[in-house]
Amino acid sequence: LTILGIESSCDDTGAALVRATDGAAPEILANIVASQTELHAAFGGVVPEIAARAHAEKLDLVIEQALGQARLTLRDLDAIAVTAGPGLIGGVLSGVMTAKGLCAATGLPLVGVNHLAGHALTPRLTDGLEFPYLILLVSGGHCQFLRVDGPESFSRLGGTIDDAPGEAFDKCAKLLGLPQPGGPAVETEARQGDPARFAFPRPLLDRPGCDLSFSGLKTALMRARDAVVAEKGGLTRQDRADLCAGFQAAIADVLAEKARRALSQCPGITAFAVAGGVAANTVLRQRLTAVAGDLPFVAPPLALCTDNAAMIAWAGLERLRLGARDDMTLSARPRWPLDTAAAPLIGSGK
Ligand code: ATP
Ligand code: FE
């Protein structure tokens, strides 16, 4: 089976081709991502209208590029998978309309995919994980623990009640005058820092369960920074490094402890996986590897951890194998909790 995946739910326009042959590892034939980062840079965040227009302009192009790179035409495909939510509605709509147009023209089956299912199923594409496994989605917009029992069967064990860790890293960088995206910048600074110099809270550790909170860390950072500035009139390189190290340690501590709890709620799983841009963080990876203990710890390559269309093609393929199909009534959804994906994904087809 060869499937085209289309992704346009946030600020990356993606098209990818994935091929799966029974008994062999799946192959990514092409994985094109056109980033809109520069378009939104001046606004300090993703502007939905600009994103939607850029997706509409870029979709045809990235699809053509993906087909060109794989040396395939639409005739070689078995289906088209598209992110149908959750995400910025204008972008999701652009993708869904493009996919419907291509399916109408070619007669190919259409498969709607939940973006989060794409992230959550990626370790099966990259590492061939068997169900069930636990995954931590940790990105700029998401933070949740999911037990994955099948291509359409997810249980959410807990997640953030406010900010996502990536967002927290980005705000930390902003408060300290470091470049965006904040995660890599904070991690680099933290290498020279003392994580014990400033006392950061460990939010929600005193409460049972796997929920997390990160907005308080930002306030703590602001206070610590202001105290240093009030005392010395400014921040030295070392102050900044110590603040970053303390901030990063707090995030890693909280995620590690909640991961330990999530794992204890999932007897019989085959592995512990991560996805999302924050999974690039070395300190966090080390902590999570330790928590996993004897269980395999799986972190897909970064390009497949962040938003991409290969994961959408793959998740579409998994749905297709279950016999799932959508039709022209497939709708774009701004919200779409993954947990209900255990029920029919979309109110159509199947
Ligand atoms: P989503 O996929 O949830 O819609 P997103 O597109 O913002 O959100 P990703 O592209 O998966 O998320 O990841 C980007 C985030 O990852 C940014 O917030 C960035 O700061 C963070 N990040 C990247 N590298 C690191 C790192 N080394 N340490 C910590 N955070 C990092
Ligand atoms: Fe994403």
Q: Is 187 annotated as a binding residue?
A: yes
- Has residue 203 got a pLDDT over 60? yes
In this structure, are strands 297-298 and 79-85 parallel, antiparallel, or unpaired?
unpaired
Locate the DSSP E strands across 177-292.
272-275
Q: Tell me: the pLDDT tens digits for 102-147? A: 999 999 999 999 999 999 999 999 999 999 999 999 999 899 999 9
Cα 347 to ligand 2 centre (Å): 23
10 CA → ligand 1 middle, Å? 12
- The rounded Å distance from CA 124 to ligand 2 centre is 17
Task: Give, using CA atoms, the residue closest to atom 16 of ligand 1.
Answer: 277
5 a known binding residue? no
What's the whole-number average pLDDT of the chain? 94
The reported pLDDT for the residue numbered 47 is 87
For residue 45, the one-letter residue type is: G
C-alpha 104 to ligand 1 mean position (Å): 35
Q: What confidence tier does 80 reach under pLDDT thresholds 50, 70, 90?
A: very high
Asked whether the predicted pLDDT for residue 246 surpasses 60, the reply is: yes
Question: Is 40 part of any known ligand binding site?
Answer: no
Residue of 83, 143, 169 best suited for mutating to test ligand 1, as the one with most atoms within 8 Å of CB: 169
pTM: 0.92
Tell me the pLDDT tens digit for each residue of 301-325: 999 999 999 999 999 999 999 999 9
Task: Please tell me the predicted confidence (pLDDT) of residue 346.
Answer: 43
Cα separation, 326 vs 319, whole angstroms: 10
Pocket of ligand 1 (CB under 6 A): 10, 139-142, 166-167, 169-170, 181-184, 187, 276-278, 280-281, 306-307
Cβ atoms of residues 8 and 32 within 8 Å: no
pLDDT at 344 over 50: no
Label residue 42 by pLDDT band (50, 70, 90).
Answer: confident
* Tokens (6 digits) for 236: 């030295």
Closest atom, ligand 1, to C-alpha of 119 = 2
Element (H, E) at 115: helix 115-127
Q: Which amino acid is at 173?
A: A
pLDDT of residue 341: 43
pLDDT category of residue 241 using cuts at 50, 70 and 90 = very high
- Whether residue 275 is predicted with pLDDT greater than 80 in this model: the reply is yes
Q: Note the pLDDT tens digit of each residue in 145-179.
A: 999 999 999 999 999 999 999 999 999 999 999 99
Ligand 2 centroid distance, CA of 119 (Å): 7
Q: Is residue 170 annotated as involved in ligand binding?
A: yes
In percent, the amount of the chain with pLDDT more than 90 equals 89
